[in-house]
Each structure stands twice: as C-alpha cells, then as structure tokens.
Chains A and B, each alone.
Chain A
C-alpha cells in the first residue's frame, strides 16, 4: 500500500466524469483528433497521471477487470478503493492501462471480443507523450471525411501493422485511447491506418 492508495478521486464525480466521458466519446467518434481536458476536472493527487486517473475513474468499475502496466501497478489499490476495479491478466482484461507504448503487453493476446459480443473486447489506454512517429500515419474510416494524420505519439511501424490486422477483423478488435499531454485522441477498431492516404475522388 502506498500513501496514495487513499488519495481523493474526482472532485465533482458527476460533472467531472461526464466531461471526461464526453471527451472519450468524442475522441472515439472522431479518430486521431485530440480532445483536451482541463486539469481541474482531473484528480491531481492520484497514483496515476491526472489524465489517466480521471479516465480510469470514469470508465472502470467492478465489472471491468483491468491490467496495469508495471510502472502503474501501484495504482491498483487506489482503483479498487474508488471503483472496485479488479486486476486481471492482459488476456482477461477489459481495460489495459499502460504508462507507455513500450510497456504494452503483446496486443495479439488481448481480447478482441467474440462474434456474439464484440463489445466485450479490450480497450487499451496508453500514455503517449509527444514523440515523432516512426513514419507519418493516416487514419481513415467512419468519422473521418478525409484521411487524418495521427498526432505525433512515437508510434512504431510494428504498431501500424498490428492495427491493420486489428481493423481487418472488424467487428471484433481492440479500441485504443492515447493520452497525449493535456488531452486524448483515440483509434476505434473501425479506423484504418495507412502510410499513404488513398486518393479519393471528391
């Protein structure tokens, strides 16, 4: 148990979680577009970075087992105290919370849902501070009128290859929420990644 296990959660649980949920929903509807959240909506004394802490308190509960990456594992007690979140192995987790891309478990082993219940797939929440992507990547698909360049988040070409396979098994697949400084952007499974945006007749 760390000192932060019993640190406060959201200041205004109803309004703060609604604002955070709105940002996550908007981000998943408009892939690769960053949505900012003001710091006073987020828990500042939590054992997780404010954005990750706020998102975790908004989305997770006792019905959604979560896997925490090594540098965030000390937050397990805090999440259990506030939301009753149970820890799980990566393959059994509804949420994967990772402090960085390098701390992610093998994405292939995460739950993509099944044909009957594709919504039971895992959602990956990963902290991606601003860093150049290995190559410029574009997202296309529902919510995007034209291809949109992904925010610079240190994405590797291996990740892009994984995501192409992830998109191919739609309606199954993972969804990803990237925490990027003061805001978040997302890739739903419906988003297709490519290095070269397709030219489309307008």
Chain B
C-alpha cells in the first residue's frame, strides 16, 4: 500500500487502540520537542444523523470525545478520539503531525501498515460475530395483488 492520505491515517490513528499508539509513537512523544496548540480536553459532542441519509436531521445522542492539537516543527497535528483518554488523543495528534512531515514518513510507514492490519482484523472479527446473528426475512408472495 502506498503512503495513505491524511484522511486515511487520521482514521487509523483515531480508531487504533491506545496500546498500539503507545507502541508506535511513545518513543517520539518522549524524545521530540512539540508544543500544545490545544492541550487534550474532554467534552460532549452531539452526534446527529439522517435516516437513510435522506430523512430529517435528528440528534442520535451525545458522545464523549477528547480532542487535542499539537505543533511539531511546522506541522499541526489534530486528533479527536472517542472517550476520555487524554494520552491517546495526544499520541494521535502527534502521529498526525509526524505523518505530515516528510522526514518521518518512511520511518512511520510500517507503523501505519500495522495499524491498518489491526483495523482490518477488528472489522473482520466484528463482522463475523454479527453475521452469526443475522436473520433473513422472507415474505411469501401470495399473488393476490395482481389479476385480482
């Protein structure tokens, strides 16, 4: 896989487990100099949606998120992660800043590849679990609507 675009690696960073982020990025966190543009802060966001993506907008519910923005050299890294894990938000934001930096792109490629594999594994596992509960509804055609 070629170098993922920002949207892709932001998705990988936010959805990764905090253990994987720590494994890949904690070394950078300890050794690099970066500053907080916005220290990790936790708050509620309202998740909104449309039924079938066409209905009227409605509020699904509130969700706890932690956001963080850091600046390393000239790159701004941003992260919004689910839950209240401030350390995870910080690592994800740092990961975003480093991923924009050509100097770190090569060193980080295996890390992102690892995150991608973990994510795919989790999706497969969850899909399998869900599929066992799938129920097919079949409607018998009675044929009385036509030619009545």
Contact = CB atoms under 8 A, between A and B. Distances in A.
Tell whether A and B belong to one assembly.
yes
Interface string B15-39: 0000000000000000000011111
A82 B43 CA distance: 13
Contacts of A8: 35-38
A160 B37 CA distance: 41
Interface in A70-119: 81-82
B99 interface: no
Contacts of A7: 37
Binding site of A, secondary structure by majority: helix, strand, loop or mixed?
helix
Interface residues of B, number: 9
A6 interface: yes
A13 B69 CA distance: 15
A7 B76 CA distance: 10
Nearest to B71: A6
Contact of A6 (B39, B41, B69): B69
Contacts of A151: none
Interface size class of A (residues with CB under 8 A): under 10
B69 to A, nearest CB: 7
Nearest to A5: B76
B35 A6 contact: no
A190 B37 CA distance: 39
A129 to B, nearest CB: 29
Given A6-B76, A8-B35, A8-B36, A13 B41 contact: yes
Interface in B23-68: 35-39, 41
B6 to A, nearest CB: 15
A9 B36 CA distance: 9
Contacts of B69: 6, 81
A82 B36 CA distance: 12
A118 to B, nearest CB: 29
Nearest to A78: B37
Interface string A5-36: 01111000100000000000000000000000
Nearest to B36: A8
Contacts of A9: 37-38
Contacts of B41: 13
A82 B69 CA distance: 10
Contacts of B36: 8
Nearest to A12: B39
A82 B67 CA distance: 11
Contacts of A82: 38
Nearest to A7: B37
Contacts of B76: 6
Contacts of A81: 38, 69
Interface of A: 6-9, 13, 81-82
10 contacts: A6-B37, A6-B69, A7-B37, A8-B35, A8-B36, A9-B37, A9-B38, A13-B39, A81-B38, A82-B38
Given A8-B38, A13-B41, 9 more contacts: A6-B37, A6-B69, A6-B71, A7-B37, A8-B37, A9-B37, A9-B38, A13-B39, A81-B38
Instruction: Identify the 9 closest CB pairs spanning chains A and B, nearest first.
Output: A6-B76, A6-B37, A8-B37, A8-B36, A9-B38, A6-B71, A7-B37, A6-B69, A8-B35
